[in-house]
Amino acid sequence: MSPLKHITIEENVEYLKRYAFFERAAMRALAGWLPGVPEWDAKNEIGLDVWESADAVDVIYGRLRELRCYQPERNISPVLPQIASAFDESANTAEVIATVYLVVKKQLLEALRTHPEATWSDFDNPTVKVAEQLIPSLERQVAWADAYFPTIAANYPGWEAWRDYVVGLLAADGGISGAGEKSEAPARPEGHALLLPWMECQRMPDWPIFKPEEDIQPDRETDPEGYRLWRFKHYTNEMTAAETLGSILWMTPEMIWEYQHNVARHLWDELRHSQLGQTRVQQLGLKLNEIPQVVQIYNVMMTLPAVEQYALLTTVIEPNGMPEKTTNREHWEALEDEISAAAVSYDWSDENFHVRWGQKWTPVLLKTYNYPETPDEIRVRMEAWMLENTPVKMQQNHAHHEY
């Protein structure tokens, strides 16, 4: 047994509450910022990290329940919501990455590394296991940010002031654990009006934008190669589905934790669907910055409130898209295109859960946000809305049940 002074079980609970708070704030800010970040590489990382942050929260909440803490945000320091707001109120990619990753996640990683020494680890083995479980993802995230940040920092002059503000807030609250020395609260820099939720999803200015009138679906039987490329370009554009879920997640903080954990996973799944498209189009000889970006789906969906977007996605678009995936798997298997068949088989498997989550959470959303409609009524209304408003013919076909 180490002769060092250890934290009590009550202090341990307070530390864990703060760790969970920071990861939950990171999850929400990164979700909200996913559509606002134009850099493609950053989007790919952030989509994964929304899920890893959510899962870290879930694991810590589990340990807190074992320690008989059922309300992990109760009596939390008032400075922590200020840090969460500062994440959200970042002005650009550099400020998001600097505050979330280079300040808070980096210090959280250090706190998790020292937690086994801080606690009575001989008696608190389950918390030690939690720390050991969370460290590898956090290490990867921080290493990514350290390597990536210098490639974009020069594009966003002035980011240092916002980073310093968050460094100051954290120091004023005794650091990650809250037990350190407390410095004086920093002054909030000027400006920084909240940009979330993003009404239009952002892309690098030189990336091509999708033109609906030029989107002609090649015939699957007579032009299988043309069809395959067309289909995987649309997969690449599932980035917009991830972005839609990011804004939905950011706009529905009143919902219970289990919903947020599910939506974070749903977001990452859609990012993975974009990535299976990205992998396949590159194998087929295209560069990512040659794929026209279907920003229109995100932008038109953002004219709807979050509840309606969620109902549209999970009770109309996703169930209606299922039969096409089964047909495509059989089609590619018949052509012995194992890679395409494997990709779509995992997409299909993920979609089963998305539809199930839609059935579970749409009624709760309707109730929470005081909609008078039943889940059936909102589904019918959203189906009609999509026929009017979608810029993508593929989705219109799905609404008509044509494959």
Contacts to Fe ion by CB under 5 A:
238, 270, 273, 318, 351, 354
| CB-nearer residue toward Fe ion: 55 or 318 | 318
Structure tokens at 359: 């059935």
CB 227, CB 219: distance < 8 Å: yes
CB of 364 to Fe ion, least distance (A): 19
Residue placing its CB nearer to Fe ion in the complex, 239 or 255: 239
Whole-number minimum distance, CB 394 to Fe ion, in Å?
A: 12
Q: Report the nearest approach of Fe ion to the CB of residue 318 (Å).
A: 5
* Smallest distance from Fe ion to CB 382, Å: 15
| Nearest residue to 293 via CA among 45, 97, 35 | 35
Per-position b or e across 191-200, b if 16+ CB within 10 A of its CB: ebeeebbbee
Is the Cβ of residue 367 or residue 393 nearer to Fe ion in the bound state?
A: 393
Q: How far is the CB of 248 from Fe ion (least distance, A)?
A: 13
Least Å distance, CB 329 to Fe ion, is: 14
**Residue 241 Cβ vs Fe ion, minimum distance, rounded to whole Å:** 6
Q: Are 104 and 170 in contact (CB under 8 A)?
A: yes
In a 3-state reduction of DSSP, which class is residue 209? strand
Torsion sign across C-alpha atoms 370, 375, 379, 381: negative
Distance from chain centroid for Cα 129: 25
Residue position matching structure tokens 């026209």: 292
Q: Which C-beta is closer to Fe ion: that of 228 or that of 354? A: 354
Nearby residues of 3 by Cβ (< 8 Å), 6 or more positions away: none
CA-only gyration radius of the chain, Å:
23
Spatial CB neighbours of 363, under 8 Å, sequence gap ≥ 6:
375
- Are the C-beta atoms of 95 and 163 separated by less than 8 Å? yes
CB nearer Fe ion, residue 356 or residue 367: 356
As measured in angstroms, the least distance from the Cβ of 297 to Fe ion is 12
**Closer CB to Fe ion, 177 or 240, in the complex:** 240
Q: DSSP label at 206?
A: T
Residue type, 203: R
Query: Cα torsion at 101, 107, 108, 109 (round to 10°)?
Result: 90
Please, which residue, 94 or 311, has the CB nearer to Fe ion? 311
Q: What are the DSSP calls for 277-334, one per residue?
A: HHHHHHHTT--GGGSPB-HHHHHHHTTS-HHHHHHHIIIIIHHHHHHHHHHHHHHHHH
Structure-block tokens of residue 386 = 């999509």
Q: Are 133 and 68 in contact (CB under 8 A)?
A: no
Output the smallest distance, CB 274 to Fe ion, in A.
Answer: 8
Q: Decide whether 308 or 351 has the Cβ nearer to Fe ion.
A: 351
- Whichever of 108 and 343 has its CB closer to Fe ion, that residue is 343
Closest approach, Cβ 151 to Fe ion, in A, equals 29
Instruction: Report the residue number, 162 or 268, with the smaller CB distance to Fe ion.
Output: 268
